[in-house]
Amino acid sequence: MNCPNCHHQLTKEKNQYHCLRCGYISTGHYLKEGSSERQETILEKALNSHFYKLLYNSNFYVPFLVGPLYFGYYQLLLIGIILENLEIGLFLLIAMKLSFSTAILIILFIHILYSIYANQFCIFLWKKKLKKNQQLKLHTSIVNPFIIILSVILIFLGIFLLYQANIIPHGLI
């Protein structure tokens, strides 16, 4: 039997179940300070229903598939843009210097790391954001990853134009 709040395994003692993680008792009360309701943290209030997805990494395949665009979905646009540019630059560098297949393997490895650590990194960054402004709320949007894609395209277009205008020497890239 799992806890309805934190989904941790309940422990049975005599004729009652209780959760060792959050203090939930099968009667509906909590062990902490005799409160009848568990208090939501600021982070839980800000992230709404996405909090448990991030906390328990229940959507681990999404960061693997979309990579740095995942951070844009959770309103971390700057991190998403920086990581996307680093990933593309690393891919191009390895593809030119070593081989295309090595570059793909390294990008797959990086995406595996995203699937493992992206949710915890999002929680960490949201805690930092909430220290500055406790009134923030998560409003997830599919538009944010498109902003990241657009910015990456504009950066590459700018580099291409500088390369064509011979401002960036041809031997550099």
pLDDT tens digits, one per residue of 134-148: 787 877 777 777 777
Residues 30 and 66 in one domain: no
Res 30: pLDDT = 61
Q: What is the pLDDT of residue 106?
A: 94
Does residue 46 sit in the same domain as residue 16? no
**142 is a domain residue:** yes
**Are 86 and 149 in the same domain?**
yes
> Is residue 170 a part of any domain in this protein?
no
Q: Are residues 9 and 68 in the same domain?
A: no
For 91-149, what is each residue's pLDDT tens digit? 878 877 888 788 889 999 999 999 999 989 988 988 888 888 878 787 777 777 777 78
pLDDT for 33 beyond 60: no
Q: How confident is the model at residue 34 (pLDDT cuts 50, 70, 90)?
A: very low
> CA nearest 74: which of 143, 162, 22?
143
Q: Is the pLDDT of residue 64 over 50?
A: yes
DSSP 148-161: HHHHHHHHHHHHHH
Say if residues 46 and 55 touch (Cβ distance below 8 Å). no
Same domain (yes/no): 14, 59: no
Smallest Cα–Cα separation from 122: which of 44, 48, 54?
54
Tokens of 2: 């799992």
Q: Which pTM was predicted?
A: 0.64
pLDDT for residue 35: 45
With 0-12 / 13-18 / 19 or more C-beta atoms within 10 angstroms meaning exposed / middle / buried, residue 93 is exposed
What does the pLDDT read at residue 173? 52
Q: Tell me the Cα Rg of the chain.
A: 22
Q: Looking at the structure, tell me whether residues 147 and 66 fall in a common domain.
A: yes
Residue 142, domain extent: 42-164
Angle between helices 143-164 and 77-97 (to 10 degrees): 50
Mean per-residue pLDDT of the chain: 79
Same domain, 64 and 134: yes
Instruction: Note the pLDDT of residue 31.
Output: 60
Residue 53 · residue 119 · CB < 8 Å: yes
